Structure 1
Amino acid sequence: MKAKITVLPGDGIGPEVTAAAVEVLRAIATRYRHEFEFDEQLIGGAAIDAHGDPLPPATLAACKSADAVLLGAVGGPKWSDPNAKVRPEQGLLGLRSALGVYANLRPVRVHPKLTALSPLKNEKLHGVDLLFVRELTGGAYFGAKTRTADTATDECKYTVVEIERATRRAFEFARARRKHVTHVDKANVLETSRLWRSTVTRIAKDYPDVALEHQLVDSMAMLLLTRPSAYDVIVTENLFGDILTDEAAALAGSLGVLPSASLGDGKAGLYEPIHGSAPDIAGKGLANPLGTILSAALLLRHSLGLESEAAAIEAAVDAVIESSVLTRDLGGGANTNEVAAAVLAALAGQKERVAA
């Protein structure tokens, strides 16, 4: 297979973790005889510094012409003024809109080796395997905004089409998993949530083999900590999904091990770890590359249709975690390059076993 992958290292630790993921993708290409072309472009703060624009035209064009986009992270103290007219996160939001991605997938699986790092008791973490589907294009993040000296508003607006397409994605994924969807809203208070609930309930009728339950977002925040293994696929609106997925990341022991994928109607997608740019450790070799490497696995699976290759990366990461070659956030002493090298070695070991 030939594929063009646009790489957006971004800011902070982004260049370090994306470099690790690209090396893993190169190893996969060699092992399975694919041709991956990598095109590196600027986004976020780095793009502001170079071009005064968090999403330069060249970056946008490269992303639109690619088969998939791999992103590191954006932002940092240098560009953190919330009143600034140009901010790094505008590049990410603009890219999501331009690519037409509307469903953000965030899988959360707890590796047994890392349960001690979670604030929850180990017995609550057994069997935790969640898939969040967060709607990406609507809600308060994109609604009209006003500001006066003593008031501010953020409009939360949703259309039926926005809700339907994210919901159908959630049910399709549930069909291939444990056939259970939990929809999270605040329908006892918010009109947008009542639209979500009625739409999700209607869509569920097209999937009679998948069970549906509704949870209020405040209850769900508690349930994620008290019985996380009871859930399979969780679908929700933009703001709720942003908050709940970061909460769920605590189950896995570190933000550093969790990937994400943002998908639209086509094959192209945007793939990134869920962690931020961590400017305090940038350039020190302390960044955990596993979340970005696992995001590369999602890229192979969802944009390129390469399931065996994606599974090979995930198995290699599991092997590295099991061997305790871990960065500081996971209680280890390895640096970024050492963890990446361990993943590459685990992949090579798979190849040797296949050859044998």
Structure 2
Amino acid sequence: MSGKIAVLPGDGIGPEVTDAAVRVLQKAGEVFGLDLEFEQFEFGGAAIDAYGEPYPEVTRRGVAAADAVLLGAIGGPKWDSVDRSIRPETGLLALRKDQQLFANLRPARVTPGLEDLSPLKPEIARGVDVLIVRELTGGIYFGQPRGMSEAEAWNTMRYSRPEVERVARVAFDAAAKRRGKLTSVEKANVLEVGEFWRRTVEEVARDWPQVKLEHQYVDAMTMHLITHPADFDVVVTSNIFGDILSDLASVLPGSLGLLPSASLGEGTPLFEPVHGSAPDIAGKGVANPTAAILSAAMLATYALERPEVGAAIEKAVTETLKTTRTPDLGGSASTASFTEAVISALAG
């Protein structure tokens, strides 16, 4: 089994955590006989500095030619004052749109025995294992018209039937392979686009009779995710609601440093930690690489189609977290020592 991986370290702690993920993937390659090739490209603020734009042509070509993309993190105060059209975040939106990565998968799981990491009471945190499927290339972030004048600003939340159908299929497929429950989140009581979303998801549900479908309004869902998060299996929602709910769900395990993600669609799949570039700790060697390593596990599962490799990486991380933790989790392990511990656990 071979795979060509485009590595986009990005900014802040991105290069540190991405290096950790690459090292774990290299060890997994040795253990499971994978022939992996890594090629690094500038992206985000680093690309602005080097090329004057966040997603330069050389990076576009590298992404298109790869089997998967492993991204670190982007942005920081250094680039906050640049024109909106070339900000690091604009590059990320362009990458997603360019590769038609319409489904963003963000798992949030409280590992048994590690409930103490969660800010919730142990009895509420226990058993949490939710997968949020966020529509990624449509909705209010991309809808037209949009604009701003001295007097007002406007954005449009717009969805077509194919856009809703395809992300719903990803969510139903995931639910069928998990615990068989899908929660669709919108605001159908006040938004026409929400009513359209609900109707379309119900039509797709006819092809998945084994999956139980329920609907929640987004405002109620924010409360339910905190008061009884273990009740949910897979959640599917729009771009903006998914952005908010997945960030909310990210605190359930205890730290943004624990949350991976995968963006899937028609082009090269993208894998990245949920957290930002954390410029305040960049270069100090204390960043938590867990989310990046777990993103590498998702890469093995979805891009390389080797779920046993992904599961092995996840198990190694779980075992490591029982004894070794970085400062964000109340421990004292460095990025390097945590990574070494995961590699050791993976090697058996």
Could you tell me the TM-score, scaled by structure 1's length? 0.96
Cα offsets for 1:69-116 (capped at 9, x unmatched): 000011000111375442001111111111111000001110234322
Distance in 2 separating the partners of 1:83 and 1:149: 17
Distance 1:194 1:11, change over 3 A: same
Partner of 2:345: 346
Q: RMSD over aligned Cα, in angstroms? A: 1.1
Comparing 110-119 with 175-184, which one deviates more in the overlay?
Answer: 110-119
Partner of 2:139: 139
Give the Å deviation of 1:33: 1.7
Distance in 2 separating the partners of 1:249 and 1:290: 13
One-letter code of the match for 1:292?
A
Distance 1:29 1:294, change over 3 A: same
Partner of 1:236: 237
Give the Å deviation of 1:117: 3.1
Partner of 2:335: 336
Cα offsets for 1:101-154 (capped at 9, x unmatched): 100000111023432232211101111110110000111111232111120001
Comparing 109-118 with 214-223, which one deviates more in the overlay?
Answer: 109-118
- Structure 1: segments with no counterpart, 5+ residues: 350-356
Partner of 1:74: 74
Q: Is the 8 A contact 2:43 2:91 kept in 1?
A: yes
Cα offsets for 1:203-235 (capped at 9, x unmatched): 111111110000000000000011101110000
Distance in 1 separating the partners of 2:32 and 2:297: 14
One-letter code of the match for 2:33?
R
2:161 is aligned with 1:160: yes
What does residue range 48-127 of structure 1 map to in structure 2 within 5 Å?
48-81=48-81, 84-127=84-127
Distance 1:78 1:143, change over 3 A: same
Distance in 2 separating the partners of 1:243 and 1:84: 21
Q: Is the 8 A contact 1:21 1:293 kept in 2?
A: yes
**SS of equivalent to 1:247:** helix
Q: Is the 8 A contact 1:180 1:211 kept in 2?
A: yes
Partner of 1:188: 189
Distance in 2 separating the partners of 1:257 and 1:206: 34
Distance in 2 separating the partners of 1:25 and 1:117: 26
Distance in 2 separating the partners of 1:295 and 1:115: 21
Give the Å deviation of 1:9: 0.1
Distance in 2 separating the partners of 1:13 and 1:235: 30
What does residue range 306-317 of structure 1 map to in structure 2 within 5 Å?
306-317=306-317
Q: Is the 8 A contact 1:114 1:253 kept in 2?
A: no
Q: Is the 8 A contact 2:99 2:266 kept in 1?
A: no
**SS of equivalent to 1:4:** strand
Partner of 1:5: 5
One-letter code of the match for 2:54?
P
Distance in 1 separating the partners of 2:32 and 2:184: 39
Q: Is the 8 A contact 1:186 1:193 kept in 2?
A: yes
Partner of 2:180: 179
Q: Is the 8 A contact 2:84 2:90 kept in 1?
A: no
Cα offsets for 1:272-324 (capped at 9, x unmatched): 0000000110000111001000000100100111111111100100100112x
Cα offsets for 1:41-60 (capped at 9, x unmatched): 00000000000010010101
Partner of 1:295: 295
- Percent identity between matched residues is 54
Q: Is the 8 A contact 1:114 1:330 kept in 2?
A: no
Distance in 2 separating the partners of 1:31 and 1:119: 36
Distance in 2 separating the partners of 1:13 and 1:46: 12
Give the Å deviation of 1:30: 1.1
Partner of 1:352: none
2:33 is aligned with 1:20: no
**SS of equivalent to 1:101:** coil
Distance in 2 separating the partners of 1:228 and 1:82: 39
**SS of equivalent to 2:123:** helix
**SS of equivalent to 1:131:** strand
- Structure 2: segments with no counterpart, 5+ residues: none
**SS of equivalent to 1:37:** strand
Q: Is the 8 A contact 1:113 1:321 kept in 2?
A: no
Partner of 2:257: 256
**SS of equivalent to 2:165:** helix
One-letter code of the match for 1:61?
R
Could you tell me the TM-score, scaled by structure 2's length? 0.98
